[in-house]
Structure 1
């Protein structure tokens, strides 16, 4: 089990790094969003690139924040019945939920890789006055989803240990 503890530590570190990247993205979006509004409304000088990069950053934020949110259990849950279950029953429900989660993440990863490959082949850019490459962003999407999958697998192992009554280190 010592090896699994190391794997958990690596997964936790990855999700923490993703969360910190997300924080930087939020800071970027807030800073440049405010700057763009000030330039547009007070100086009548809108930028050509800020709004596009903010949209780019918001997609990037969705990619990097999923693993962090799942690891910190920050997603909204419908706890109507679930909250009253004992830990072992919660773990069993979570194991069944993992099957749906895995299917969803598998589709996102495979279709994301296909979209990224097509985007790289086409050297896809934004259709704006300032063409910003999109293929980098499309390549990050499957990576972010893979990080979410790592956290989901970690949680699955914890749930299996709970069901089997194995003590956690």
Structure 2
């Protein structure tokens, strides 16, 4: 395999591993927000921001963790037939199916980017009492789709290397 492809795979794997590790700690942020929500309600001064902030943090947790899940192969799949394939058989199957994934992620990235630009230009806000701006969470979603697309390309390169008998 060309060195540039090997370097690409290692760089993207390292990047998504670090982003995924960061995303794992967002669960603690969600818990802290929910504790603040519980305490303010118990004190009869409920905070308006806690529900939405917990939802936004959950979106960031889920979306930023997705590329790491794709990298570590913990995503859900139907293993009725796939699980019986050899290592090279799985790689061959993945070479064909990853193009469907990349098409899907490309469409989602395009839509997310377009929505983020609109949100930023129009200063779009959530229509609630707190009225937070939406471009930060939409930017995170766009970033996550970009990272997932880059990880899908890395998986394609790794599967082609497997078919050629090269270990990455």
Superimposed CA distance per residue, residues 97-123 of structure 1 (whole angstroms, 9 cap, x where no aligned partner): 111101100100111111111111210
Q: Distance in 2 between matches of 1:110 and 1:34?
A: 36
Specify the alignment match of 1:38 in structure 2: 39
Match of 1:154 in 2: 154
TM-score for the superposition, normalised by structure 1: 0.91
- Partners of 2:10 and 2:159 in 1: CA distance: 17
Q: For residues 15-164 of structure 1, what are the structure 2 equivalents within 5 Å?
A: 15-40=16-41, 42-164=42-164
The 3-state SS of whatever aligns with 1:84 is: coil
Tell me how large the CA RMSD over aligned residues is.
Answer: 1.5
Deviations 1:40-75 (A, max 9, x none): 2x3233111111111111122222111111111121
Alpha-carbon displacement from aligned partner over 1:139-159 (angstroms, at most 9, x marks no partner)? 222221110111111111111
Unaligned runs of 5+ in 1: none
Shift >3 Å, 4+ stretches:
none
Q: Distance in 1 between matches of 2:93 and 2:6?
A: 23
Distance 1:122 1:77 in 2: 39
> Could you tell me how far apart the structure 2 residues matched to 1:83 and 1:114 are?
38
- 2: CA distance, partners of 1:29 / 1:89: 41
Inter-partner Cα distance in structure 2 for 1:126 and 1:21: 26
SS in 2 for 1:81: helix
Which stretch of structure 1 is more off in the superposition, 100-109 or 60-69?
60-69
SS in 2 for 1:80: helix
In 1, distance between residues paired with 2:4 and 2:101? 25
Q: TM-score, normalised by structure 2?
A: 0.91
Alignment check: 8 A CA contact 2:92 2:163 kept: yes
- Give the SS at the match of 2:167: coil
